[in-house]
């Protein structure tokens, strides 16, 4: 549990901005919405893609010891028996016999002890109607093939990791990687969370970016654990998440998941009453998963260490980060309301890292005449070959700047009276508000330089 943060709660403002500007919409909104499922709009999909690209580049493309994978969501049902999810991926829940609502047994809104006559339902207020806690599995079930019977039950994966474990030897043998090496993937995961909420913080359908790093159990596996902890924290810092809002949280033995020997969360301070919460888990999974898949499948999942003529089941260091949850941290981190010197109206800014911003530059003719729109549209189409840009000629220039500030566009290119005479444009920086005049032919080069940092 986290304590109340010293940072303000901006969640409500973000939900409204996200909808108004096309980042995130509630799923099936016209039907009243689907509980804790969200859709990404035009700007949201770009932001999420940029985030996933940064992860993929850092974890796969820029390393020679990590390979990529895209495993299917539907897997053999025995996978989830082996992984421990059928037996152990549960939450203790209580039902209200009166209003039929269901709550986590540790819901702080429940007064009294569930099952006892004094216990009061937090929804309908009746006393004595709450059942004793029962274990409820969080995996979504469905049926594969034409027959809906117990033999055809399959699960929507609750984590992407298992697709990596069952492909461990396929990837290792096809790439001829040697331990230590890793396998990474990005994909959807599904959990029938009972207390979802806080916008996209905890949802029933979400995306994970996971990497399993296979190491020698007789070697320096704890050093690799420390290495990945440090690497992953640095990645969050480089996204621009503020240093003082990031921390590690070590799992004590009661908190450890069934597979973990050691675990640290990377937490971000989301502000308000949410405070510090996990965005990523770094887990030492030992040989639990490969060992269990060997046992349940009857197939050996051993690595052959040729130089030493040894066969062994590697240990696994896992890094597991939620794309949606990190995106929420980025929005919280970037959101600012401020006064602008010399202007009556304040502005809302999303100070997103330029590499993450959905639109890299706004292109604005100062007025809709004197050749300015023509020069601006020409420039916008040239820039569009290199970056996502937004052309806007409607309304006062100050308002157009503010519209882009609010969605995190780092640069504004303005074509004014001087531009048509000498082929120069001004480039405005979202954060410093400084404007600089540069040659129109240099815009691509200047933007590229600034976006690379």
Q: Choose, by CB under 6 A, the member of 172, 203, 267, 419 that binds ligand GAP.
A: 203
Give the nearer residue to ligand GAP in terms of CB position, either 67 or 280. Answer: 280
Give the nearer residue to ligand GAP in terms of CB position, either 91 or 392. Answer: 91
- Say how many residues touch ligand GAP, by CB under 6 A: 19
Distance in angstroms (rounded) separating the CA atoms of residues 290 and 295 = 9
Per rule CB under 6 A, is residue 278 in the interface with ligand GAP?
Answer: yes
φ and ψ of 338, to 5 deg: -150, 160
Give the nearer residue to ligand GAP in terms of CB position, either 131 or 195. Answer: 195
Site track for ligand GAP across 293-332, x = CB under 6 A: -------------------------x-xxx-xx-------
Helix (H, G, I), strand (E, B) or coil at 325: helix
Site track for ligand GAP across 210-249, x = CB under 6 A: x---------------------------------------
User: In the complex, what is the shortest distance from the CB of residue 407 to ligand GAP, in angstroms, rounded to a whole number?
Assistant: 23
User: In the complex, what is the shortest distance from the CB of residue 206 to ligand GAP, in angstroms, rounded to a whole number?
Assistant: 4
Q: Choose, by CB under 6 A, the member of 208, 319, 404, 426 that binds ligand GAP.
A: 208
* CA terminus-to-terminus distance, the chain: 36
What is the DSSP track for 202-243? B-SEEEEEEEEEEE-TTS-HHHHHHHHHHHHHHHHHHTT--G
Distance (Å) of CA 61 to CA 2, 172, 239 = 36, 17, 17
Per rule CB under 6 A, is residue 161 in the interface with ligand GAP?
Answer: yes
Query: Distance from CA of residue 204 to its chain's centroid?
Result: 13
User: In the complex, what is the shortest distance from the CB of residue 32 to ligand GAP, in angstroms, rounded to a whole number?
Assistant: 21
Residue 211, burial from CB neighbour count under 10 angstroms (0-12, 13-18, 19+):
buried
Give the nearer residue to ligand GAP in terms of CB position, either 126 or 260. Answer: 260
Per rule CB under 6 A, is residue 191 in the interface with ligand GAP?
Answer: yes
Per rule CB under 6 A, is residue 184 in the interface with ligand GAP?
Answer: no
User: In the complex, what is the shortest distance from the CB of residue 281 to ligand GAP, in angstroms, rounded to a whole number?
Assistant: 4
Distance in angstroms (rounded) separating the CA atoms of residues 435 and 431 = 11
Nearest to 82, CA basis, from 364, 298, 241, 323: 298
Which of these ranges, 54-62, 124-132, 202-210, 227-235, lies near ligand GAP under the rule CB under 6 A? 202-210
Give the nearer residue to ligand GAP in terms of CB position, either 107 or 406. Answer: 107
44 contacts: CB under 8 Å, gap ≥ 6: 18, 22, 23, 24, 327, 358
- The β-bridge relationship of strands 435-439 and 424-429 is antiparallel
Query: Which stretches of the chain bind ligand GAP, using CB under 6 A?
Result: 159, 161, 191, 193, 202-203, 206, 208, 210, 278-281, 318, 320-322, 324-325
């Amino acid at each position: 549990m986290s304590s109340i943060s010293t940072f303000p709660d901006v969640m409500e403002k973000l939900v409204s901005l996200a909808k108004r500007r096309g980042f995130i919409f509630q799923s099936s909104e016209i039907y009243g919405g689907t509980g804790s499922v969200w859709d990404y709009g035009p700007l949201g999909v770009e932001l999420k893609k940029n985030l996933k690209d940064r992860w993929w580049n850092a974890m796969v493309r820029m390393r020679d010891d990590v390979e990529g994978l895209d495993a299917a969501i539907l897997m053999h049902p025995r996978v989830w028996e082996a992984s421990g999810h059928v037996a152990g991926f549960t939450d203790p829940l209580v039902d209200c016999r009166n209003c039929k609502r269901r709550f986590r047994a540790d819901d702080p809104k429940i007064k009294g002890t569930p099952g006892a006559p004094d216990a009061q339902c937090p929804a309908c207020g009746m006393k004595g109607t709450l059942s004793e806690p029962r274990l409820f599995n969080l995996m979504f079930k469905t049926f594969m093939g034409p027959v809906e019977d117990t033999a055809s039950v399959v699960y929507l994966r609750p984590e992407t990791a298992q697709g990596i474990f069952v492909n461990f030897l396929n990837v290792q043998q096809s790439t001829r990687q040697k331990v230590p090496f890793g396998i990474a993937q990005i994909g959807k995961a599904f959990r029938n969370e009972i207390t979802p909420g806080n916008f996209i913080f905890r949802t029933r359908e979400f995306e994970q970016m996971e990497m399993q790093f296979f190491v020698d159990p007789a070697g320096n596996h704890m050093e690799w654990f420390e290495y990945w902890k440090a690497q992953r924290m640095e990645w969050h810092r480089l996204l621009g998440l503020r240093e003082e809002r990031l921390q590690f949280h070590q799992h004590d033995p009661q908190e450890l998941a069934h597979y973990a020997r050691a675990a640290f969360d990377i937490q971000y301070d989301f502000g308000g009453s949410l405070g510090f919460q996990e965005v990523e888990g770094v887990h030492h999974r030992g040989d639990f998963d490969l060992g269990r898949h060997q046992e349940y499948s009857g197939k050996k999942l051993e690595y052959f260490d040729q130089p030493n003529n040894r066969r062994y089941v590697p240990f696994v260091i896992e890094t597991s980060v939620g794309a949606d949850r990190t995106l929420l941290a980025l929005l919280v981190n970037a959101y600012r309301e401020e006064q602008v010197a010399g202007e009556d109206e304040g502005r809302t800014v999303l100070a997103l890292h330029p590499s993450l911003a959905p639109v890299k530059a706004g292109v604005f003719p100062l007025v809709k005449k004197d050749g300015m729109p023509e020069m601006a549209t020409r420039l916008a189409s040239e820039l569009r070959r290199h970056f996502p840009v937004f052309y806007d000629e409607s309304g006062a220039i100050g308002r157009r700047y503010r519209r882009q500030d609010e969605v995190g566009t780092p640069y504004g290119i303005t074509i004014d009276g001087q531009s048509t005479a000498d082929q120069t444009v001004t480039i405005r920086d979202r954060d410093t508000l400084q404007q600089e005049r540069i040659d129109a032919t240099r815009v691509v080069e200047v933007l590229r330089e600034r976006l690379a940092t």
